Amino acid sequence: MGDRGNFKKNLRKDAREDIKLTTSSSTDLHCSFHGALPPLLGWNSPEIWRDRDDIQPCRAILDEDLTKTEPTAAIIDGKMIAEKIRQEVTEEVTRLKSQTGGKVPGLAVVLVGSRKDSETYVRSKKKACKEVGIASFGEDLPESSSEEDVLAVVRKFNEDPSVHGILIQLPLPKHMNEEKVLAAVSVEKDVDGFHPLNIGKLAMQGRTPLFVPCTPKGCIELLLRSNVDIKGKHAVVIGRSNVVGTPAAMLLQRHQATVTVVHSYTPNPAEVTRRADIVIAAVGVAHLVGGDWIKPGAVVIDVGINPIEDPSAKKGYRLVGDVCFKEACMKASAITPVPGGVGPMTIAMLLSNTLDSAKRAYGLIN
Ligand SMILES: Nc1nc2c(c(=O)[nH]1)N[C@@H](CN(C=O)c1ccc(C(=O)N[C@@H](CCC(=O)O)C(=O)O)cc1)CN2
């Protein structure tokens, strides 16, 4: 009790700012009751990975010569595996069409604002739909749209029987309540798997969510299709975002892994990660995970897609993962590259979820 009562004075300023927000929220169970105690649901603290004494920059970033050691890792080719899944989806769409007298799955993609990366992802999703025979519907709203504008679009797609999946491209503009918008998507059309019912069922034993979030599902699919045993293994998930880290940890547990989540408040994350047989890195910090974080023989799934300056590249930048690929290759038994690893699987899983939704709507699966 005493320790908890005292801990407030040790918090950094940014965390304190956050406490003000958290304590005024209606979800802040017990706080007003216990006074100085932290809320039962914890603080909504920001993830800050930079300027930590217990994290060293990876050697490849420091341009040290790594050529003296031979890489050990097999490359898990996400692009190839995603392509195989797209072919499978194409065949199933054809079968569904013949079973339903010409019906095809439909995906609606809602984009709010004009973030360049989001526009690229939305374009890729629509193109992928076309290639596999899924009809795509789009609604692009300006950044200045109100939450009610977005909710109206969601309601329209909820009621449209030719739409089997609805996806709200994230992140939404800051002035919108993401929780409210995602919860407005019909649970039967929630192909992103972010509806509280779907994510809640994913967290609970013996429950079956209608959809599982695409990127974590893609990570597991990569492991399964690369014949990596998950059962009984120690998996470390680095990052605890709603989109990747948290659902990935839940999915790994459902596959009987022992899961540790490493986050920005974990002391000595390298030491903790070094105990893992399977590492899923999903923090969004370029090259955070150095070779010294990886146990020899571990399997590494790198979810990060971070642009870094590169004057030799046509666009002036290139994409790198959260893992220092050059270093991790010397330790891991298998690793996903960036680009060409998890990214293409995110879209393949979206197609697969949309197909499942259509099959359910036409009574072809439960
Ligand atoms: N509603 C959602 N929003 C977002 C999600 C999501 O799953 N649902 N995930 C990310 C972005 N994302 C899809 O939306 C996504 C990211 C990356 C890729 C991809 O194929 N990446 C390529 C590289 C692409 C490039 O060259 O620019 C790769 O890694 O090889 C696809 C989808 C955030 N928002």
10-residue averages of pLDDT along the chain (366 residues): 38 40 45 71 89 83 62 95 98 98 98 97 98 97 98 98 98 97 98 98 97 98 98 98 98 98 97 98 97 98 96 95 96 98 98 98 94
pLDDT at position 62: 58
pLDDT at position 116: 95
Look at strands 258-262 and 234-238 and give their pairing.
parallel
pTM listed for this prediction? 0.90
Ligand 1 atom with minimal separation from the 344 CA: 20
pLDDT at position 1: 36
pLDDT at position 35: 66
Distance (Å) from CA 221 to ligand 1 centroid: 16
Cα angle, residue 278 at apex, residues 341 and 125 outer, rounded to 5°: 25
Answer yes or no: is the C-beta of 305 below 6 A from any ligand 1 atom. yes
Quickly name the fold that domain 59-79+212-347 has: Rossmann fold (3.40.50)
pLDDT at position 25: 44
pLDDT at position 272: 98
Q: Give 151: exposed, middle or buried? Use CB within 10 Å, 0-12, 13-18, 19+.
A: middle
Residues labelled catalytic? 125, 169, 192
Ligand 1 atom with minimal separation from the 167 CA: 1
Distance (Å) from CA 342 to ligand 1 centroid: 9
pLDDT at position 109: 98
Residues 6+ apart with CB under 8 A from 30: 37, 39, 40
Q: Is 41 helix (H, G, I), strand (E, B) or coil?
A: coil
pLDDT at position 101: 98
Length of the chain: 366
pLDDT at position 22: 39
